[in-house]
Structures are given as structure tokens and as C-alpha cells.
Amino acid sequence: MRLLVTGGAGFIGANFVHRTVAERPDVAVTVLDALTYAGNRRSLDPVADRIEFVHGDIADSALVNGLVAASDAVVHFAAESHNDNSLTDPTPFLHTNVMGTFTLLEAVRAHDVRYHHISTDEVYGDLELDDPQRFTESTPYNPSSPYSATKASSDLLVRAWARSFGVRATLSNCSNNYGPYQHAEKFIPRQITNLIDGLRPRLYGSGKNVRDWIHVDDHNSAVWTILEKGSIGQTYLIGADGEVDNRTVVETLLELFGRNADDLDFVTDRPGHDLRYAIDSTRLRTELGWTPQYGDFRRGLEATVRWYRDNEPWWRAQKESAEKTYAATESVIG
């Protein structure tokens, strides 16, 4: 099987490629990645001699057409992925998430290639803290940020191309991922790298916002399950029952670093900050038989801390530029 992986030099895509190369020697992987600020060629070093790497833009239709024509399936991870950046400048989010997805869809349509679309639970908006309901495949779309609006747009394009043109597509909407190779701008790596540097973690607003954490390897095992067993045209929600509020995440990290539980700063809140995400992954579990393997969030965090301690050369430069960006808008409020 010849598999085209877009965004394979990013966090989830790189972990997906590592796992695929390790577990599926019959799959020939080609990565297409534009190596934006979020892409890192070094994330693919462990598999560099076992994959083909193409440096390019998913919105480049000539390039994409050639690569898709030579593939049996496409898994589309590439995106502008950070909410905070989308609030400063939405332009690249429209280009990559909307036009890039459109370009891929036209290519898989032209060459009748199987397509799996990676998306997020943020397309559903947010939930109240005490809402007993969680997101399901039939929750109405209600995105809050430019990032989530462009991901929602891309999902709708995929659904339309599946229905109108018979594109053999599946979609998945996953909750917040954590694990190795995640950019230092994101919540968990930002706090871990602050703690390694002897700085205080930084919580937006009240710290009460809830995210539904899943280990990146569990996300990727679900993607393979859907690729192999998913029904064409279907959407699957991916989640591992991992709801934790941000303050508790920070307190766990402080404990892992031997620091006091209140050794943290509250900083300017994110405009439009979604309160809570929560995934009901019953369809994926009952129809396709998927189960997550990483049950213990604390142990997963501990392993992630070890990875960042052991891989400082991987994150140091991105940490410096991410913190410069944050410094432009962020101040300590408590």
C-alpha cells in the first residue's frame, strides 16, 4: 500500500509516521509537508531512510495531483493548528485548512483515491462545565475561533465531496492530544518547558477550562482502525474519556517537578476561550472495536516530561520564538 501523509513533520503526523513504519512494513509512506514554523524535519529523523519526504504545499495542485495519483490512500493531517495564532492572523488558516483541503479533495476525486480527513472536536464549539452531555457525531457544528471555523469548513467540504462526487472519504474528530514532538506553543509542552527552565506555568483566565486529553498514539491507532474498517462517508469521534481542567494539569506537572501546587501564574485569557470539550467515542468503540491503550494520564504526562527533558535541542529554538509571540499579548493577572 502506498500512503500519502500530509503534515507528517508536525506533531500528530510525525507520531503517525513513526508508528506506521514500525508496525506496517507493507506500507510505503510518502510525507508531504510545507515545513512551516510548526513542521520539523528532525521529527522524522528516526524513520528518514524508510520514507519519502516531499517538501511542498498542500494547496499546490500540480504537486498534489502527482503525489495523489501515485498513492492508494491519503491521510490528511496538515493544518494550521494553533488557536492563538488564528486570532492574530487567520490568513494562513484559510489557505491551508480550507484551500489546502479543497486541493486534496479535487485530487482524490480525480484519481479515485481513498481519503481520511483528520479533524478536531473544536468544530462543535464548547460545553458548560456541568453539562452531562458530550459531543457525538450528530452534535451541530458551532465553531468559536478562526482555527475551528476553518477546520469545520474543511470537514463540510469533505462531506460534500463524498456525497456529491462519491469520494471514498472518512472523517475523524479527535480531542486534545499530548505526547512527544508537540510544538512548545501548545499548553502541555509550554508548561513542561517552562518548568525545565525553572519558570512558572501559565494558565489562561481562571484555569477552569476543561480539555479531554488523549495520548497521540491512541489517536493514531484510531486513525488506522478507521482507515481499515471505517464506513465510507462516515464520521468517527475519537476520545479516551480524559477530561481534566487546565489547573489540574498544571498542578500534576508541578508535582512531577517537585514544585508547590500554587507555583503558577494566571495570565490574560484567550478571547472567545472555549470552556469545555468532551467526546463520546461510542461509535468508534462499538462499531469498529477500537479501545485506547493509555489509561493513566499522569503516567502519560510523566513519559512526556521525560521526552522533553531528553530532547531539548528539538524544542529550544521553537520555545524561544513561541514565547516572543506570547509576550506580545500576554500579561500576568494573578
Rule CB under 6 A: say whether 117 interacts with ligand TDX: no
Q: Rank residues 165 and 204 by Cβ distance to ligand TDX and give the closer one.
A: 204
| Residue 93 within binding range of ligand NAD, rule CB under 6 A | no
Nearer to ligand TDX, 168 or 200 (CB): 200
Task: Give the integer Cα–Cα distance in Å for 17 and 24.
Answer: 10
Backbone angles phi, psi at 237, to 5 degrees: -85, 135
> Per CB under 6 A, does 47 bind ligand NAD?
no
**Of 169, 287, 177, whose CA–CA distance to 233 is shortest?**
169
Task: Report the site for ligand TDX in 125-154 (rule: CB under 6 A).
Answer: none
Of 76, 59, 60, residue with least CA distance to 10: 76
| 303: partner contacted, choices ligand NAD, ligand TDX, none (Cβ within 5-8 A by kind) | none
Of 284, 23, 25, which Cα lies nearest the Cα of 292?
Answer: 284
Query: Considering only residues 3, 20, 29, 33, which one is a binding residue for ligand NAD as defined by CB under 6 A?
Result: 33
Q: Is 121 a catalytic residue?
A: yes
Q: Which does 203 bind (CB under 5 to 8 A by kind): ligand TDX, ligand NAD, none?
A: ligand TDX
Q: Exactly one of 80, 121, 243, 274 is catalytic; name it.
A: 121
Instruction: Give yes or no for residue 101 binding ligand TDX (CB under 6 A).
Output: no
Binding pattern to ligand NAD, positions 119-138, x when CB under 6 A?
Answer: -x------------------
Smallest gap from residue 157 Cβ to ligand TDX (A) = 17
Cα–Cα distance measured from residue 275 to residue 210, given in angstroms and rounded to the nearest whole number: 6
Look at phi and psi of residue 169 and say left if phi exceeds 0, alpha if psi is from -120 to 50, else beta: beta
Give yes or no: 122 in active site. yes
Concatenating the DSSP letter of every residue in 171-233 gives EEEE--EESTT--TTSHHHHHHHHHHTTPPPEEETTS--EEE-EEHHHHHHHHHHHHHHPPTT
Which residue in this structure is represented by grid cell 495564532? 85
- Exactly one of 20, 96, 103, 209 binds ligand NAD (CB under 6 A); that residue is 96
- Which 3 state secondary structure label does DSSP give 329? coil
Asked if residue 48 binds ligand NAD (CB under 6 A), the reply is: no
Binding mask 54-73 for ligand NAD (x = CB under 6 A): ---xxx--------------
Q: Can you give the C-alpha Rg of the chain in angstroms?
A: 19
Catalytic residues, which ones?
Answer: 121-122, 147
Which residues of the shown chain bind ligand TDX in the complex (CB under 6 A)?
Answer: 81-83, 120, 122, 176, 186-187, 190, 202-204, 209, 211, 246, 270
